[in-house]
Chains A and B, each alone.
Chain A
Amino acid sequence: MSQTIRDAFPVLTRPGFHYLDSAAMAQVPGIVVEAVAAHDRTARSNVRRGLHELARRADEAYDGARATVARFLNATPDEIVFTGGCTLALNMVARGLAKDLGPGDQVVVSRLDHHSACLPWMELRDEKGFELRWLPVTPEGRLDLSDLASVITPACKVVSVPHASNVTGAVSDLAKLAEAAHACGAKLVVDGAQMVPHGRVDPRALGADFYAFAGHKAYGPTGIGVLWGRAELLAGLAPLLVGGGMVGSVSEDGFTWAEPPHRFEAGTPPVAQAVGLAVALDWLSGLDQAALHQQEMALTWHLLDGLWAMEGVRVIGPMGLEARVPVVSFTVEGAHPHDLAHLLAERGVAVRGGAHCARPLMLALGLEEGTVRASLAAYSDRADVDITLAALAEAIKVLR
């Protein structure tokens, strides 16, 4: 399966190149590159504004992309908002929901959050005066839900968690979180950036109220993200940005909002990128989902097994394959993650070293210098892992 998948990615044909930085940005299949180019060649126009032929084609392509994303998330098109990325989507939700928050209210974020998920709420806490609470993590790098009732209380209005950690790879128990949040009347906001690249997701069935992800981590173009929200919640949400395309009526005295999803798409949207994302998600959906999961987990185990065998290497994250994505972080005693990542790059192995925009987690786990992160994707193969492990062994020798 992996060779067939690899063949779809032009960049992976480079000899001696091993890409294990997919959690930062996945590579893109050739059909996505072609789809974006073809759109710009044949249907480049603004959407929902023009009456000419190219405008009609652009409208069809953009609406079609929305329908494709809706299918991927088992949702309806009016619940799909195209954004400039996951960060923007999470900021949109935070700003929208915080409009009605103030002193006496609580918002719960988590130690597993990417900065894109927790920083908006930290900023809003300072503006609005609500209390910000942090869900702790276990030493294994999972959300610690053992004392959920003491963190999520009746004063809680929003719970924001990642579906999967971009550092430890741990997948959150959304059902349990949704139950706790909804019992208090709180909304569950989920950062799905690290989950969507690994197969179809059904946010409604998982109990989420809002779900965001990025195109560039899901084999799609950059500059595109998606915010899904339950229709009844989007209907009551204020937009972050105002401008062209998001209004109902406008007069000198004021304006009204358009209905979702257009309410949240002020200005010219990323049309070609939406088209590319739709092709990427269709491609991902077309893979045998069970086989994909099995392949990714087999490689994850191979990587974990190799790391455990190396002296001075500490894996940061779940020790097994249960409830995890193929994102593996580790540290090496006496070697800084950046030096290791640099030396691996010189052997053609692309990994990431640093804090991964997850300082709260680094502080919680005592990892001030960060970690090395090797993140796998559908196109990863056994050679990627074998050569990474060999290069790591050499890098450690150089640094010691």
Chain B
Amino acid sequence: MSSDLYGERIKELAGAGSHRLHDADASARLDNPLCGDTIVVDVMMADGKVAEVGHGVKGCLLCKAAAAIASHQAPGMDHAAATRMLEQVSALLKSRAGPEFPDLAVFVPVRPHKSRHDCVLLPFKALVKAIPAA
């Protein structure tokens, strides 16, 4: 039963836990009104790039796993880089593009499940929203 989608790696990522930044320079909250997923991403910035990131997520396993990956990748990114990452994830899900970095491969089984794409994309969108544009 859906061993691909709910494999050990997804569960491991989703179970990694999360923490918020209390002294963040910027935060962004996004909701998926259809499924109820909610995420808040906090960033501390240095020279226009993410120095530290935190997040809080109430959502499904896919959303939690995506939030963990987004947070792992975020340090060093500016707004443009985060936007590129969002585009990469979107392309992976919607255009069958290959994973641009290894962790993204975990979402390949989500491709045929269009109604779950937003669960994966929400944290990446929130990261883009949280990072101030140059």
Contact = CB atoms under 8 A, between A and B. Distances in A.
Interface of A: 336-339, 342-343, 346-347, 353-355, 362, 368-370, 394-395, 398-399
Interface in B53-93: 58-62
Nearest to A399: B6
A355 B31 CA distance: 12
Contacts of A346: 1-2
Contact of A338 (B1, B11, B60): B60
B1 A343 contact: yes
Contact of B36 (A342, A368, A394, A399): A368
Contact of B1 (A337, A347, A353, A354): A347
A398 B6 contact: yes
B113 interface: yes
Contact of A353 (B35, B61, B62): B35
B119 interface: yes
A337 B119 CA distance: 13
22 contacts: A336-B60, A338-B36, A338-B37, A338-B59, A338-B60, A338-B119, A339-B6, A342-B2, A342-B5, A342-B113, A342-B116, A343-B1, A343-B6, A346-B2, A354-B34, A368-B36, A369-B36, A369-B59, A370-B36, A398-B3, A399-B6, A399-B61
3 closest A-B pairs by CB: A336-B60, A338-B60, A370-B36
Interface string B90-130: 00000000000000000000000100100100000000000
B113 A394 contact: no
A394 B1 contact: yes
A346 B62 CA distance: 16
A338 B35 contact: yes
A347 B2 CA distance: 9
Given A339-B60, A346-B2, A368-B36, 20 more contacts: A336-B60, A338-B35, A338-B37, A338-B60, A339-B6, A339-B61, A339-B62, A342-B2, A342-B113, A342-B116, A343-B1, A346-B1, A354-B34, A354-B36, A368-B38, A369-B36, A369-B59, A398-B2, A398-B6, A399-B6
User: Interface residue tally of chain B, by bracket?
Assistant: 10 to 19
B107 to A, nearest CB: 14
Interface of B: 1-3, 5-6, 11, 34-38, 58-62, 113, 116, 119
Contacts of B5: 342
Contacts of B58: 368-369
A399 B14 CA distance: 11
Nearest to A343: B2
Contacts of A336: 59-61
A368 B60 CA distance: 12
Given A339-B6, A342-B113, A369-B58, A395 B1 contact: yes
Given A338-B119, A355-B36, A398 B1 contact: yes
Contacts of B116: 338, 342
Nearest to B59: A336
Contacts of B62: 339
A339 B2 CA distance: 11
A247 B90 CA distance: 50
A356 to B, nearest CB: 9
A368 B35 CA distance: 11
Contacts of A355: 36
Nearest to A344: B1
A250 B19 CA distance: 64
B72 to A, nearest CB: 21
A97 to B, nearest CB: 27
